[in-house]
Structures are given as structure tokens and as C-alpha cells.
Homo-oligomer: A and B are copies of this chain.
Amino acid sequence: MATMVDVARIAGVSISTVSHVLNGTRNVEPKTRSRVLKAIEQTGYRQDTLARAMRRSKSDSIGLVVSDAGEPAFAEMVHGVEQEAAARGLTLLLANSAEDPERERRAVRTLLERRVDGLILACAAAATPSLLTDLQDEKTPVVLLDRLYRDLPFDQVGADNRDSMRALVRHLAAQGHRELLVIAGDVRVPALEERLDGFFDGVRDAQLDAGGQHIIQGTDRARIGDAIRVALADGNATAIIACSTPLAVAGLRALEDAGSEIPGDIAFATFDGFDNPDLFRPRLTTVRQPAFDMGVAAVRLLMERLDAPDSSPRTVRLHQDLQLRESTEGFGFPA
């Protein structure tokens, strides 16, 4: 591998001149410059980003740690982050914690050791509490993505979970539903907690009986299935809301096992949802997270933070779309 020294020797200039033509960091006479360029061509010289990063203590790279690369929403966020990073000449270092706090800790540490310029973090549900507080003392800026922590002074980007859920509940109530079943998931995840809060906002707005609603917490599939069976047997709940894609999968499977039809037997809505929602039946009413844009926004926040390290932390909420489809439109209320 050719180095700057080789280029300099061949071009008959000093290595600092080579550096300056490479980086455009000071004027160099056209003639000299072209000699250098030719030498670069000739040697096939390529800059060593590592050495450069070390010297400048700036790596032009960012790290992204996601908590579950399996969920489509996260895959989309990764995509958005990659896109925006590339557009700004940043290399993306990707890690997946798989909802494991220990892996998460290791991933963060590894990325910090690699001297990334900034870190984007979608924390695991059971994230080690000290992780984020430790990160506050770090000079490497951090942006929290999707998994937000209201009380911590980080830049954050998420969706308007609470408002979207509220709107969804109001919509269902307006159609006549009075008793709903919410598959809430792991409410330690801030986004899921917010969605549950929004549910009760909506219940209040629509003056439904708060005590009469069915809330299923946790992610255990069997338990979700049981709870749905019970609720269906009682026969009072007329609509189900799943608070994430995996929760929707659990719910849909349970309904299938029970032989219940959507929306004939029960209405169904989900957050995040599935790809190509109009191609397959049932067409599910979905609150859609702008996951790609959230990734883009996270990178922007990070770069702005680098420019202004001392400005106060900002939380950006992106609007979620409420896409109404057949799964909540055909339920037959008794006259």
C-alpha cells in the first residue's frame, strides 16, 4: 500500500504538500498540484482513514445501536440512518443489542473505543440504568432513537405515540366500540408506555369506562393468547389494539387459533404494522411510524449537536399516520 511518503517522493515534493492537495487545506501551485495528482494516480495511493482519524481525533463515523434488528420498524430506521450518514460523508458502524442489556453495553463500549464522532441509540427495553447516565459524562454526543427517556438531557427523536393512540381510540369509540383490548407489550419501553398512556387519554376523551378496558402487558405469546381467548369468551371486547408489530403477530395468531374473523367477530388495529398493508387481507388499520425519517432526523440532530455542543438538548417528535383500513370498518354492532 502506497503512503504519502511514496507520493511525495515521486512527485518530488514534501509530504505536507501532498497532504494539502489531498485535503484542499491550503493553496498549492497548479503545476505542483498536478504533479502530486499524477503521482497519486500512478501509485494507486489511497488515504488511510485510520491514521487520519487518529491525528485529527475525528473519525467521520457514527455508531448506531438498535435493540432489535428483527423488527421491520428498526430495519427501516437503520436504513434512514445509513442514507443520511452516507449523504454527509459519514461511515456507519452498526450493532444490534437484540434486547440484551449486556450486549448493548458491550456494543456502546466498542463503538466508543472506535472513536465514533457520535452515537445513535435505540435502547433495549431492560437497558442497564447506568448506561445512559454514564453516557452523559462522555464527550461523545448521543442521540436517543425511538426508545426515549424523557428525563435525561439527550437529544431524542421519536414518534407522537401518545397522541396517535389517543386519536385511534377516539376513532374506535366514535364507531361504537366501548370495550377495547390493548396488547400493550413491555411498558418499560418508553414508546409502549406512551402508547398506553395515550390509550387512557382516549378512553377519557370518549368517556368510556376505564375499568372496563382490557390491558395485556408483557410479551409472552402464550399469555397474550390466553388473555385474548378469555376476552373473546366474555364477549364484551369488540376491538383489539396491538401496540407493535410482534404484538400484532401474537394477537393475530391467537385470533386465528380461536377461529375469529376480522373484522366480523372483532375489529383490529396495530401500531407499526406490516409491509404492503394494502396487498394482503385483512387490511389492517395501522398507526404507521415514520421509521425511515426518524433515522434521518437522528443523524441530523447528531450533526447539529457536534456543531453546537452546548445548546440545550432537543426532543423531536415525528407525526404518525393513522391509516384506516377494513379491519376496523366492518364490525357489525347489533342494532
User: Which listed residue, B92, B107, B109, touches A94 by the CB 8 Å rule?
Assistant: B92
- Contacting residues of chain A (69-124) with chain B, CB-CB under 8 angstroms: 69-70, 72, 75, 78-79, 82-83, 86, 91-96, 98, 103, 107, 109-115
* Nearest-Cβ distance from residue A274 to partner chain B, whole angstroms: 7
- Stoichiometry (number of copies): 2
Q: Quick check: is A335 within 8 A (CB to CB) of the other chain? A: no
Contacts of A282 in B (CB 8 A): 280-281
**Which residues from B are CB-within-8-Å of A275?**
72, 274-275
Q: How many angstroms from the CA of A190 to the CA of B244 in the assembled complex? A: 36
Say yes or no: is A54 at the interface (Cβ < 8 Å to chain B): yes
Please tell me which stretch of A32-40, A214-222, A249-257 contacts chain B, meaning at least 4 of its Cβ atoms lie within 8 angstroms of it.
A249-257
Cα separation A250 to B107 with both chains bound (whole Å): 39
CB of A49 within 8 A of chain B? yes
Residues of B within 8 A of A112 (CB): 46
CB distance from A53 to the nearest CB of B (A): 5
Chain A contact-residue range equals 35 or more
Task: Give chain B residues whose Cβ lies under 8 Å from the Cβ of A83.
Answer: 96, 98
The listed residue (B46, B70, B109, B279) touching A79 by CB distance below 8 A is B70
Q: Which of these, B46, B50, B91, B249, contacts A50 with CB under 8 Å?
A: B50
Instruction: List residues of chain B with CB within 8 A of the CB of A115.
Output: 48-50
Residues of A within 8 A of B (CB): 1, 46-51, 53-54, 59, 61, 69-70, 72, 75, 78-79, 82-83, 86, 91-96, 98, 103, 107, 109-115, 139, 249, 252-253, 256, 274-276, 279-282
